[in-house]
Amino acid sequence: MGYGIHHAYKSSNSHPHFPTTATLYTTQLILNFLWTPLFFGIEKPGLALLDILGLGVNLGALTWSYSRLGDEVAVWTMLPYMAWVSFATYLNVGVGVLNGWDLKSKRKAVKEE
């Protein structure tokens, strides 16, 4: 991700669409950061799912923005990240479904045993 935005900055920071690209990049960093405390910290897979779905949409927009800048290298740097977020979304849904979308009750039950 860092290399993608760096490459886009170096190749097209004077492009009129670059500020939008930079905003999308910053937004994806925030959404990515928030997922871990939502899922593991407060144990809310439903909220984490909303966050990661938003992250997926943001990554699609960021990829499109890189393509508008004409930066093919930056576009290609997105593919592994998008694949990982897709797999993480699948895992998030799986854990949510298998635990009735409530992880705290499962942890509490294990502590009481």
Range of the domain at 62: 2-112
Residue whose token pair is 């943001």: 58
Question: How far is CA 6 from its chain centroid?
Answer: 18
Show pLDDT as tens, one digit a residue, over the chain (113 residues).
888 888 888 888 788 889 999 999 999 999 999 999 999 999 999 999 999 999 999 999 999 999 999 999 999 999 999 999 999 999 999 999 998 888 776 666 666 66
Confidence (pTM)? 0.87
Contact 21, 66 (CB under 8 A): yes
Angle at 65 between CA 47 and CA 70, to 5 degrees: 155
Q: Per the structure, how many domains does the chain have?
A: 1
Residue whose token pair is 């925030």: 30
